[in-house]
Amino acid sequence: MTNDQTLRAEMVKTCRRMNETGINQGTAGNISVRNERGFLITPTSLPYDLMQPEDLVQMFFDGTFEGRRRPSSEWRFHRDILQARTDIDCVLHCHSVYATTLACHHKTIPSFHYMTGVAGGTTIRCARYATFGTQGLSDAALEALEGRLACLLGQHGQISLGKTMAAALALAVEVETLSRLYVQALTLGEPPILSDEEMARVLQQMKNMSYGQAPDLEGVNDTAQARGIDA
């Protein structure tokens, strides 16, 4: 298999995983991945269970494409995000139920739970509404994603980013989980919000762990080492 064939096969597998995890339904949602020529993107109006690797569309950053199908109607925000964010290689968009529920109310997810930090900040912002498939939606998404790896789209859905497809999918599932928790928490009233100071500690801890380092807050590993346990 060539690198292109391998990438295409992995994209189809990831798309089907989106349905299996429940974050996507029908032909909603789309995914793009950077490659040497530009980026590959899912085609418009094709169910994932029918999609084949050759159905994926090769796009270029000038907005042109080649392939036997037309690209997703949301190609603009895929292109603009990949062009602006050299730290990531995959853009995943879906209409997961709870994230979309919050997006319908234009609700940003605050740091009601420390895992909000998984998207890179103290909040997961909700972008202002813009018509799907337009440059306006792309501009709104870029604003909401500033300094973040995920956002909600007003009255639309969510976007999650990753260096890999696996990372983007895992983040999308986490955003949906947080959205569900937040919706449920709101039934009891507005939940307490973690302070920016605490979230700074959380974000640093997440950064440490992402580098393969074990947590080392308040002497936890000192105790483990004193007992001769590998941290």
Please say if the pLDDT value at position 197 is more than 50: yes
Q: How far apart are CA 17 and CA 9, in angstroms?
A: 12
Domain parsing of the chain, residue ranges: 3-194, 196-231
- The mean pLDDT value for 98-127 works out to 98
127-145 residue pLDDT tens: 999 999 999 999 999 999 9
CATH number for the 3-194 domain, one of 3.40.225.10, 3.40.640.10, 3.90.550.10, 3.30.1330.60? 3.40.225.10
22 touches 49 (CB < 8 A):
no
Q: Are the CB atoms for 205 and 117 separated by under 8 Å?
A: no
pLDDT at 231 over 90: no
Task: Report the catalytic residues.
Answer: 74
Q: What is the pLDDT of residue 228?
A: 52
Q: What pLDDT sits at residue 214?
A: 46
**For residue range 198-218, what is the model confidence (pLDDT) as tens digits?**
999 999 999 988 744 444 555
